[in-house]
């Protein structure tokens, strides 16, 4: 992706997570900052902090007194204290703080436990096989746009009960929220209004014709005897759509990118299918797609740094996952890494709600891919592109079948 | 002579429902309707599951699981 901001010259004092160098390969940047700082600061986006070690990232994730989740995507529109409805936020529960957070989250948790997720596995497997069948006979194709990206889109469409043909629209919404964070404010507002209007139309459609999906569930759900507000229903739908698609697409794509370049790992997975669960955790550790964000809730001293209320703070779980204090040889993917306390799904009360769904999709996507294409390579390593911003994964991934 | 007894325990205050322990050893851990984990029964670990119990401890992102060894004199 191309940034609309000037290029970064000093990562410790002027970092920018939309910089093309960060998108292309953030690991050397993080490794250096982890050793040098380990809390970097940038004046960009109105002031942003970046802790790099596993210890500091954990500390922030557990600290809901000094950090608020009212906004979790860093952009140029830094919200003021009255701009977002605390403690609910725009997309509960990800943007909620205690005590409301627990109430909004509790309502959603049962739908994401292993049992209901396992029920989606046959659908996901069929979907992967269909997508692969579509590539049959071609020497090379794009594993990101022709395979990885479709899997979570179709699964979430089914979860929320949206029309399947709207998948392209979702990709536009996702880009708006996660990647176009440096667009002019008026343009973003216009597009957000479009997204809200789409969700409202879906809600009306579900009110008229209720069915067995998460949208109808949210419309009927109650907190303390009252139905949820329209804003709450819409905000949660947007959250599930965005958090459920871009992230998993990125994890599947990054894993295929790795396997394309490591024949030993491919062959080992073919030989030892029982290793898949451990391998999935290792790929999630090494290529964790999601960097979260917080707003500083009040002025305070954070390990010698003077944080001010309203400052942004990026929470780079992918950097925590590569901290040599916690992981041996963190830069090396070891598919049989048995002790792997990775934080790809975050830590603390905001642990990714969809982690079981994401794991299932990643495992099935890799199993089906390797069954069909046990040997493949990058068709053109220089043509691979990565998304910038807070969710990182390959957006173009040309592969050649061997 | 002594016999060692191993027990696992999930701290409900720390568990956030990552489900890593359950995925490693459904013989030792169970999930409630919200996906939060707890040890099955009194958390007693049979000898053939000690390795899995140790892995569950080592993979919990929240450090919520403990494994304790109780040594009691044999009668």
User: How large a percentage of chain B has pLDDT more than 70?
Assistant: 91
| DSSP single-letter state for residue A39 | E
Answer yes or no: is A2 within a domain: no
Ordered by start, the domain boundaries in chain B are 2-73
Rounded to 5 degrees, φ, ψ at B56 are -60, -45
Nearest to A346 by CA among A237, A234, A243: A243
Rounded to 5 degrees, φ, ψ at A78 are -75, 120
Cross-strand partners of B44: B7
Q: Look up the pTM and report it.
A: 0.94
What DSSP letter does each residue of A297-358 carry, written as one string? -S-EEETTEEE-TT-EEEE-HHHHTT-TTTSSSTTS--TT-------TT-SGGG--TTHHHH
Answer yes or no: is A1 within a domain: no
Considering the domain B2-73, what is its CATH architecture?
2-Layer Sandwich (3.30)
Task: Round the CA-based radius of gyration of chain B to a whole number and report it.
Answer: 13
| Token pair for A224 | 């303390």
Residue for token pair 């191309």? A2
- Give the burial class of A186: count Cβ atoms within 10 A of its Cβ; 0-12 exposed, 13-18 middle, 19 or more buried: exposed
Residues A16 and A43: their CA atoms lie apart, in Å, by 9
Chain B residues near residue A348 by CB distance under 8 angstroms: 16, 62
Work out the number of other CB atoms within 10 angstroms of the CB of residue A85.
16
Please judge whether B17 and A109 are an interchain contact, meaning their C-beta atoms are less than 8 angstroms apart: yes
Answer yes or no: is A3 within a domain: no
- The low-confidence residues of chain A, meaning pLDDT below 50, are 1
Q: Cα–Cα distances in Å, from A69 out to A89, A95, A259, A395?
A: 8, 5, 35, 28
Looking at residue A79, its pLDDT comes to 72
| DSSP single-letter state for residue A391 | B
Nearest to A359 by CA among A251, A262, A256: A251
Which residues form the domain of A383? Answer: 11-401
Q: Give the pLDDT band (50/70/90) at residue B4.
A: confident
Answer yes or no: is A289 within a domain: yes
Of B35, B58, B59, nearest to A109 by CB-CB distance is B35
ipTM of the complex: 0.94
Please judge whether A341 and B16 are an interchain contact, meaning their C-beta atoms are less than 8 angstroms apart: no
Residues A344 and A346: their CA atoms lie apart, in Å, by 6
Give the dihedral of Cα atoms A212, A213, A215, A221; nearest 10 deg.
Answer: 60
Residues A56 and B24: their CA atoms lie apart, in Å, by 28
More confident residue, B6 or A1: B6
Answer yes or no: is A4 within a domain: no
The per-residue pLDDT for range B17-52, each reduced to its tens digit, is 999 999 999 999 999 999 999 999 999 999 999 999
Residues B68, B9 contacting (CB under 8 angstroms): yes
Answer yes or no: is A6 within a domain: no
Residues A398 and A378: their CA atoms lie apart, in Å, by 6
Looking at residue A87, its pLDDT comes to 63
DSSP-based three-state secondary structure for A394: strand
Please judge whether A342 and B58 are an interchain contact, meaning their C-beta atoms are less than 8 angstroms apart: no
The per-residue pLDDT for range A148-177, each reduced to its tens digit, is 999 999 999 888 999 988 888 888 888 777
Please judge whether A338 and B22 are an interchain contact, meaning their C-beta atoms are less than 8 angstroms apart: no
A343 contacts chain B (CB < 8 A): yes
B17 contacts chain A (CB < 8 A): yes
Please judge whether A348 and B62 are an interchain contact, meaning their C-beta atoms are less than 8 angstroms apart: yes
- Give the burial class of B4: count Cβ atoms within 10 A of its Cβ; 0-12 exposed, 13-18 middle, 19 or more buried: exposed
Chain B residues near residue A347 by CB distance under 8 angstroms: 16, 61-62
| CATH number for position A181 | 1.10.630.10
Answer yes or no: is A42 within a domain: yes
A356 contacts chain B (CB < 8 A): yes
Please judge whether B61 and A281 are an interchain contact, meaning their C-beta atoms are less than 8 angstroms apart: no
Residues A61 and A208: their CA atoms lie apart, in Å, by 40
User: How many domains would you assign to chain A?
Assistant: 1
Q: Mutating which of A64, A114, A276, A326 best tests the B interface, going by the most B Cβ atoms within 10 A?
A: A114
The per-residue pLDDT for range A199-237, each reduced to its tens digit, is 999 999 999 999 999 999 999 999 889 999 999 999 999
Chain B residues near residue A277 by CB distance under 8 angstroms: 23
Q: Give the pLDDT band (50/70/90) at residue B74.
A: low
B23 contacts chain A (CB < 8 A): yes
């Amino acid at each position: 992706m191309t940034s609309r901001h000037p290029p970064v010259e000093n990562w410790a004092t002027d970092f920018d997570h939309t910089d093309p160098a960060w998108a292309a390969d953030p690991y050397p940047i993080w490794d250096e900052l982890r050793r040098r700082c380990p809390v970097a600061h940038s004046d960009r986006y109105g002031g942003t902090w970046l802790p790099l070690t596993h210890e500091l990232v954990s500390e922030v994730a557990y600290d809901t007194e000094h950090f608020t989740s009212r906004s979790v995507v860093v952009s140029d529109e830094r919200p003021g204290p009255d701009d977002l409805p605390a403690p609910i936020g725009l997309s509960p529960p990800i943007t909620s703080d205690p005590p409301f957070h627990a109430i909004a989250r509790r309502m959603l948790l049962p739908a994401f436990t292993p049992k209901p997720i396992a029920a989606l596995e046959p659908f996901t497997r069929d979907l992967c096989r269909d997508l692969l069948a579509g590539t049959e006979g071609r020497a090379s194709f794009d594993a990101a746009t022709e395979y990885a990206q479709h899997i979570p889109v179709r699964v979430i469409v089914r979860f929320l009960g949206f029309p399947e043909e709207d998948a392209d629209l979702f990709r536009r919404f996702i880009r708006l929220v996660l990647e176009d964070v440096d667009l002019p404010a008026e343009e973003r507002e216009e597009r957000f209004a479009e997204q809200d209007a789409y969700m409202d139309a879906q809600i009306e459609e579900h009110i008229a014709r209720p069915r067995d999906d998460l949208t109808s569930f949210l419309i009927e759900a109650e907190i303390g005897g009252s139905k949820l507000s329209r804003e709450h229903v819409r905000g949660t739908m947007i959250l599930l759509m965005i958090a459920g698609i871009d992230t998993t697409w990125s994890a599947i794509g990054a894993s295929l990118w790795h396997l394309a370049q490591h024949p030993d790992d491919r062959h080992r997975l073919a030989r030892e299918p029982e290793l898949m669960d451990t391998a999935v955790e290792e790929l999630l550790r090494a290529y964790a797609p999601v960097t979260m964000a917080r707003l500083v809730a009040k002025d305070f001293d954070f390990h010698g740094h003077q944080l001010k209320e309203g400052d942004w703070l990026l929470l780079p779980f992918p950097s925590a996952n590569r901290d040599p204090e916690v992981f041996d040889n963190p830069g090396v993917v070891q598919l049989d890494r048995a002790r792997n306390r990775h934080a790809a799904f975050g830590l603390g009360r905001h642990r990714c709600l969809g982690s079981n769904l994401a794991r299932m999709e990643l495992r099935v996507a890799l199993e089906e891919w390797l069954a069909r294409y046990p040997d493949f390579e990058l068709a053109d390593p220089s043509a691979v592109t990565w998304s910038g911003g807070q969710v990182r994964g390959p957006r173009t991934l040309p592969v050649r079948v061997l | 002579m002594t016999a060692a007894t191993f027990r696992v325990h999930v701290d409900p205050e720390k568990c956030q429902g990552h489900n890593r322990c359950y995925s490693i050893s459904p013989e030792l851990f169970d999930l409630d309707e919200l996906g939060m984990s707890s040890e099955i029964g009194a958390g007693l670990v049979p000898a053939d599951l000690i390795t899995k119990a140790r892995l569950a401890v080592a993979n919990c992102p929240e450090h919520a699981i403990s494994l304790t060894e109780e040594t009691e004199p044999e009668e």
